[in-house]
Structure 1
């Protein structure tokens, strides 16, 4: 397909991702979102953007720096064109985010919550601030006098700095220049939002940056200057891991070193306070070697706004989402044996509507049960304090054979995974570090139990990580099963991790990288043929991302054949729906709300005998061809109905659903139907099931 056709046939992946982040920003702007949660969405928006620049922007910059066009890879746009489009979109979003932030602060004042700056500190607040600075902040500060340094210091990736300018007085005898400069690194080990003493009904906070600004004279009181000012800057660096090939080092050591080297990666984005004076800005850019292919973003007074994700609650429950109590799974009691229950029936967990404790309980029971001999599990992202890891260590101490396939290259979670890998290894857990050239992204666990004269297997397979922290905010399906057809094939996947030159065959699971692409092609083709024959057809998918052009072409073919396709895509969607003669039978919505929509779900109508899979795989090239992924069939009719019900609830959303269309305008889906906010309605659905 020619580049011009490519541009008219697919949305660009990077620009589509920016549209997704625009939907996150919409949540910060939505006045129906609780006020403190709106601030937290600003934090999520900013954190997303940081990761985007570290990975995706950095990749495109590498293509541009290599002098390659990259049009076929980048959806019809050259790398240089795309870098400029990204920068302009980000500048627009940043401008919007600053306006939203200003609006939120005004609304906070109406609620008697005041975020003050250094010019608003009162005499009564001064003693607390100075004491806090001397005891907590000053010991953590790194201050570098850069005015006369021959070599400019290397700035840390994503750290925020105050660029300080001193205009020296005529009495100064230390410096040779009229203007002198320093950098203050904002410490990460001090709370970004400092809560001051309340005054009556009024609550006060000062951002750490402004507290430091207030104390500039204390920091630089050995110098004689006429004026002093401080403006924030931040650099984002290329986060690609360059893993050395030294055979004498362990894989853990190589990954650990590579993660540390991220701090010195090439700069890809420079953000600065747009009120900084030109002289200071030029001085900094010249010293840092910022060039035209870097993204240079004029920003606001504060950077690292991802810290707003941790904005303090201030005891104001009325300004936050109401916390929901995760529900139990009907018929599955946490007080009894899960394995005994699962032996006779499959159960489905849908977190966070239902309790993630079932996953931990499954592993804790397996660790203690004297008839359990073996536990095998894949780990992609662990919580900072992981009950999963402690359960596996407990099992090993009880003499179980515990095998953990741990992905050390889980982006931005490498350090936590390395920590737990070393801990588990020291306690006798057998670790497998993936398959050469492939990330292991599937989420599965198999337990073997000696029952009388035979071994029986039990398993859980999930669409999301085994992580207690994210399970509170990510929606994900987990299937508990003792269906021996499924668990036997799961065991084959673990065999593949250890002997990966042998490609296994599967009759039930769909496994990447060998089978997923062709299996999905075949399922789509069946729907096309069924529709042509006048049989029931239809495709319903729920994904995080849809970017694989070949897969999109198959969905276009289904649309042209008259198959109705319903897609719920949270993030990247390179498919253009609703285009006559190409995709007129495809509808796409995206839901961004209180929880992060994370499950991957495939439903094929199959002439009334539905084929349904929960999966760890999005429809991206990496998931289909370059990762180990598992798509697990749903055979239990009750669970099938439950999944259909929850998909239908999502599809009915007309409060938080956005239409993905050729305009790329993130328009909310509006209709005259009864208002359905799918995440709230899903919780009610499970409450009703429990009562029934």
Structure 2
């Protein structure tokens, strides 16, 4: 038996690395437009950075304590997992470099050339001389290291050039470090020539000007090789009662920049003495992940590679569609008072959500707005609408999660803005992140309060809504909205456990409710009734929930799982998971919505949720799962799931082998799920237009 199958679960870290390998597959897929392949390469690198800053850092901490941690890691020791991760990442880094070289060669066939300092022409030399003097030189931070009493802190979000200067006098060696400025685009577009377009990396612009930078030194030779450090990004928040939550998070974010190193990447062509100098001075030891790489690191910057006006080398941009029956010009509240509506972004316009808040901010009958915020856009229209509402005399209450990882500084800034405008802020509950996506407004109608609101699977973020697939329910269902009000009461008085009639709320009820829903499917199956479970989520790693799905499989329940990222469940194992299939879709959009469908012997129930089947979502956060009562919306969500399930272009099977095999086409026509989902919404609009014409 395969060693992995000695246990019932796939290690979540290895499963996550398999997900990132799927992203890397997109970068290597020749059917993907060239510039989008570069974007996927950047996403792969960015994902890996965050993985090392958080997950690898946590495993490393555990390994250093001497505790094996097998109980929490699915049967593998922390010490072994650190080694395994490093080996997998070295292999993936090598593959990403191979793919990058192929992409660059293919770009040349399209007259796009990425050149180095060795390839600069006379005309480009003139351009770059001025560019360096005017733009680059003022931004450079260059530090001579030999005589410093203390080695400088290298930031884990920056790339550096490790410099070795061999002096003419006595062959003395001096070392220096240059931080590559993040204020300048990493990719410098050079003047085109003969219909050819040229790009040079900022790193090579600096290399080209090393003589200018070090001209005060009498050196014989100079070399520059890129290095990159990744640090433990876990926030350590003190318990000083005299400090506000904003102060505590602010200090912890500042401390993050000096977190323990967990990964060191270097140009494999670097001189051995230079490498040893930096490893020694930075106190990097063998327990850290030391990874040889290529000439360039921080490949996440490829997410922002310039398009050069070459839209023929990008995916065709699909405009977001309107929601049938819901206009952005009329009153949304008036329409929502009559029926529920569903927004599926980015297929449909996220503007409906901002329109809802703008209308509430201006409506004289609206008296209050309550909302939870997790991750926000850089220039958030959501925040603008909430401030506008406060200025118009509405009572605005915002629960903002200051510990949204890597968005802490941004959320602190927004919190301070809102405080100045008189918005009441709630900073969550000790030990519980608030990850729910909910909003409720109160409006005076006929001398009574009527509520309107929305519940979502994703963040209220206009930027990510362009690339993340998420669903949002707009509703005036008074009992559901009463439950939302109870959640805000829980934020205020969190020692009291509230009861909810419709919503399923973590940390108190989500696990038990989903167990009951699965148990009901088991009872149906054992009684010989046809039933099924269809679950769409980002991650599935909670062992108890996996065991419950295994139990359902053994009882004969057909289970279909669309899990984009981590999947610790092993599908298709005889006697354990025969009736379970699990796929992952990685395509132009990031699959982010959570939709849970239970067949219930023909009386299908559908839920949308902010929660994945992970222990932290079920037990350690405030999450909200909402039932769908509108029959049309229920059908729409089931249709959406089934479209994804039919995908035979971007769907891969989850497996303990981590081989990311594509779902076979079996002579069926090409069916790209995300494209077919867009067509599904186009057809809905066409059908409604036809009916209106007939009417």
User: How high is the TM-score relative to the length of structure 1?
Assistant: 0.98
Q: What's the CA shift string for 1:382-408, capped at 9, x where partnerless? A: 000100000000000000000000000
Q: Give the structure 1 partner of residue 669 of structure 2.
A: 674
Deviation of 1:532 after TM superposition, in Å, equals 0.8
Residues 176-217 of structure 1: per-residue CA shift (max 9 Å, x gap):
762211100011111100001110200011100000000000
- SS of the residue corresponding to residue 71 of structure 2 reads coil
Match in the other structure for 1:265? 259
Q: CA deviation at 1:271?
A: 0.3
Where does residue 637 of structure 1 map in the other structure? 631
Partner of 1:78: 77
What is the CA distance between 1:7 and its match in structure 2? Answer: 5.0
Tell me, which stretches of 5 or more residues in structure 2 are unaligned?
688-695
Contact residue 4 and residue 656 of structure 2 kept, 8 A: no
2:601 aligns with 607
Give the match's secondary structure for 2:278.
helix
d(CA) in 2 for partners of 1:301, 1:584: 47
1:581 aligned onto 2:575: yes
1:454 to 448, 451, 475: 448
1:285 aligns with 2:279: yes
Inter-CA distance 456–250: structure 2 relative to 1 (3 Å threshold): same
Q: 1:296 to 1:446 in 2, by over 3 A?
A: same
Question: Secondary structure at 1:9's aligned position in 2?
Answer: coil
Residue number in structure 2 paired with 1:24: 23
Aligned length: 685
CA distance in 2, matches of 1:94, 1:16: 17
Q: How does 1:237-316 map to 2 (within 5 A)?
A: 237-316=231-310
The secondary structure found in structure 2 opposite 1:65 is helix
Q: Deviations over 1:46-72 (max 9, x none)?
A: 000000000000001111111111111
The gaps in structure 1 that reach 5 residues or longer are none
Equivalent in 510, 534, 544 of residue 504 of structure 2: 510
Secondary structure, in 3 states, of the residue corresponding to 1:529? helix
Shift of 1:522: 0.3
- State the match for 1:339 in structure 2: 333
Q: Deviations over 1:118-144 (max 9, x none)?
A: 100111111110111111111110101
Work out whether residues 328 and 355 of structure 1, in 8 Å CA contact, stay in contact via their aligned partners in 2: yes
2-structure distance, mates of 1:661, 1:68? 28
Aligned pair in 2 of structure 1 residues 5, 197: CA closer, same or farther (>3 Å)?
A: closer
Equivalent runs, 1:44-193 vs 2, <5 Å: 44-169=43-168, 172=169, 178-193=172-187
Structure-2 separation of matches of 1:653 and 1:8: 30
User: How many angstroms does 1:451 deviate by?
Assistant: 0.1
Contact 1:7/1:75 (<8 A) preserved = no
Mapped contact 1:6–1:75 kept (Cα < 8 A):
no
Hey, what does 1:429 align to over in structure 2?
423
Deviation per CA, 1:269-309, whole angstroms, max 9, x where unpaired?
00000111111111111111111110001011111110000
Match of 2:562 among 559, 568, 584: 568
Q: Which residue of 2 aligns with 1:404?
A: 398
The whole-number CA distance in structure 1 between the counterparts of 2:640 and 2:547 is: 27
- Alignment-derived partner of residue 457 in structure 2: 463
Counterparts of 2:515 and 2:212 in 1: how far apart (Å)?
67
Assess if the C-alpha contact under 8 Å between 1:165 and 1:180 holds in 2.
yes
Taking the TM superposition and a 5 Å limit, the aligned residue runs for 1:531-550 are 531-550=525-544
**Structure 1 CA distance, aligned partners of 2:649 and 2:558?**
23
Instruction: Please give the secondary structure, in 2, of the residue aligned with 1:234.
Output: strand
In structure 1, C-alpha distance between the alignment counterparts of 2:157 and 2:80, rounded to whole Å: 25
Paired residues of 2:163 and 2:178 also in contact (CA < 8 A): yes
**What does residue 693 of structure 2 align with?**
none
Q: What is the CA–CA distance in structure 1 between the aligned matches of 2:148 and 2:451, rounded to whole Å?
A: 65
Q: Note the C-alpha offset of 1:151.
A: 2.3
| 1:233 Cα deviation from its structure 2 partner | 0.4
Deviating above 4 A after TM superposition, structure 1's stretches of 4 or more consecutive aligned residues are: 4-7
The residue correspondences of 1:483-494 to structure 2 (distance < 5 A) are 483-494=477-488
Q: Could you tell me how far 1:150 is from its partner in structure 2?
A: 3.4
Q: How far apart, in 1, do the equivalents of 2:431 and 2:257 lie?
A: 24
The offset of 1:241, in angstroms, is 0.4
**Kept after mapping to 2: 8 A contact 1:6/1:76:** no
Deviation at 1:633, TM superposition (A): 0.2
CA distance in 1, matches of 2:194, 2:424: 58
Distance 1:509 1:222 in 2: 69
The whole-number CA distance in structure 2 between the counterparts of 1:248 and 1:393 is 29
Could you list the per-position Cα deviations for residues 387-438 of structure 1 after superposition, in whole angstroms to 9, with x for gaps in the alignment? 0000000000000000000000000111111111100110011000001110
Aligned residues of 2:7 and 2:74 also touching (Cα < 8 A)? no
